[in-house]
Structure 1
Amino acid sequence: MFKRLCSTALIFGAAALAPPLAAQAQGVACLPRDALVERLESRYKESLAGGGLQSPQQMIEVWASPEAGSFTVFITRPNGVGCVVATGRHWTGATIANAEGVAG
């Protein structure tokens, strides 16, 4: 009985510590932000296209390459680790209209 209880506790404990299933399925890559940025700049020729605070604990960044058309979205945590949440192709940048030129 004690062996079953310990085995069950180990199995459920290991499952609780595993990354979320969505992260496993999408192959979320987490690296120190500096290493991630270096890879995006050197390998994919991407540069910062925009971003902002998603919450006090997370900053979201979008990096893109207008020439190659690729883009990467990642979240950086306060500990300096960045996790890629999306990548894609056919990037098109958008321009924000100048608020001073809008009649209202």
Structure 2
Amino acid sequence: MSNQGFKLVKSRPDLARIKVIGAALVLVAMFSIPAAAEAGSPLCASRPEILKQLSTRFKEAPVALGLAKNGSVVEVLTSDDGETWTIMVSQPNGPSCLVAAGEGWEELKRVGAKGERGA
């Protein structure tokens, strides 16, 4: 698979990158929530309980978050080695729900069309 316009990095993202990642996560959540609803109810619980379970079972911790227009918080959690990842959506004054999970998380750094670094 080609990495057109992207290169892998292992550094900590700056604030602008966090905003870009957050916006991407909102889009992922928007498309994932209907799919999860079609497959059955997504796994939901209090945010602290989900964070505790993901930390205990998979050694995952939050690495990025974004605020959706409806006030929901979209978070990506990964294990230190990137072996596992989870996307969670927390509703205002409501439950947190797991909307996607998988293996092999890798952070990408966007590179512009002429090779300059993007935000």
State the TM-score bracket (shorter-chain normalisation): 0.5 to 0.7
TM-score, L = length of structure 2: 0.57
Letter in 2 for 1:48: P
In structure 2, C-alpha distance between the alignment counterparts of 1:92 and 1:66, rounded to whole Å:
11
1:62 aligns to 2:53 (yes or no): no
Q: Percent identity?
A: 30
TM-score, L = length of structure 1: 0.64
* 1:72 alignment counterpart: 86
Cα deviation 1:57-79 (Å, max 9, x = unaligned): 20100000132510000100111
Match of 2:105 among 88, 91, 96: 91
Structure number, greater radius of gyration: 1
Match of 1:52 among 41, 66, 77: 66
Cα deviation 1:39-72 (Å, max 9, x = unaligned): 1111110011101101242010000013251000
The answer for unaligned runs of 5 or more in structure 1 is: 1-19
The answer for unaligned runs of 5 or more in structure 2 is: 1-33
- On the 8 A contact 1:73/1:86 being kept in 2, the answer is yes
* 2:22 alignment counterpart: none
Other structure's SS at 1:85 match: strand
In structure 2, C-alpha distance between the alignment counterparts of 1:73 and 1:27, rounded to whole Å:
15
User: Judging changes above 3 Å, is the alpha-carbon distance between structure 1 residues 22 and 42 closer, same or farther for their aligned structure 2 residues?
Assistant: closer
By relative contact order (CA 8 Å, sep 6+), the higher-ranking structure is 2
